Structure 1
Amino acid sequence: MGVFVYMLLCADGSYHVGSATGDDLQPRIDQHNAGTFKGYTYTRWPVVVVRRDYFDRITDGIAAERQLKGWSRAKKEALIKSDWATVEALAKRRGGKPR
């Protein structure tokens, strides 16, 4: 069993990054939209999945989730659009040094 790492667009225009184990992401999205758990999306639904990736190894998924949570809004939006040149440009710190 692997893990999905997903990015949601919330009703207020913000993004939420999360993860869910298993082979089907939809039950977790339904939980977000039902306000099942008091967390970030609890007052920000409905939510829409804008990106999802599946990882066979849970440790890889957790690492990806942590990384995405630290990204700027601009970088997340470039990833959603698969705009790899912008993702790469935004990955560089001032002075051109990669993060």
Structure 2
Amino acid sequence: MKQSYVYILKCSDNTYYTGVTSKLTQRMFQHNSGYFPDCYTFKRRPLQLVFYCEFTDINLAFEKEKQIKKWSKAKKEALINGEFDVLVNLAKKDFS
């Protein structure tokens, strides 16, 4: 079964880019070389791979990518830092 990866890049402007690919090394090269001039990361190089996870089902990988893209910067950083216990609290809304 083909592996897929959801990955997070830290951009030079301290923003994060989340993507999905089946060839992580090749995709990293493409991001860092500016292969896609219209991509979010093109003007934010150099880039650093700060997180990735593997999937055997590409559909699950796409679902996880969409989910992470909606997260706040703080929640993405908790994931990157392996602080899984705080992810739930970062998802709660402040209705005060």
TM-score under structure 2 normalisation? 0.91
Deviations 1:31-67 (A, max 9, x none): 0000000210011011010000010000000000000
**Aligned position for 2:86:** 86
- 1:60-71 paired onto structure 2 within 5 Å: 60-71=60-71
- 1:47-62 paired onto structure 2 within 5 Å: 47-62=47-62
Q: Measure the CA separation in 2 of the matches of 1:63 and 1:84.
A: 19
Pair 1:11 & 2:16 matched: no
Letter in 1 for 2:86: T
Count, aligned residues: 93
Q: Secondary structure at the match of 1:40?
A: coil
Name the structure, 1 or 2, with higher relative contact order (CA <8 Å, separation 6+).
2
**Uncovered stretches (5+) of structure 1, i.e. residues with no partner:** none
Q: Measure the CA separation in 1 of the matches of 2:42 and 2:84.
A: 31
Pair 1:32 & 2:44 matched: no
Letter in 1 for 2:27: R
**Aligned position for 2:73:** 73
What is the RMSD of the two structures over their aligned residues, measured on CA atoms? 1.1
Q: Measure the CA separation in 2 of the matches of 1:55 and 1:65.
A: 11
Q: Measure the CA separation in 1 of the matches of 2:85 and 2:54.
A: 23
Q: Secondary structure at the match of 1:18?
A: strand
Q: Percent identity?
A: 39
Q: CA deviation at 1:85?
A: 2.1
**Uncovered stretches (5+) of structure 2, i.e. residues with no partner:** none
Letter in 2 for 1:7: I
Moved over 4 A (4+): none
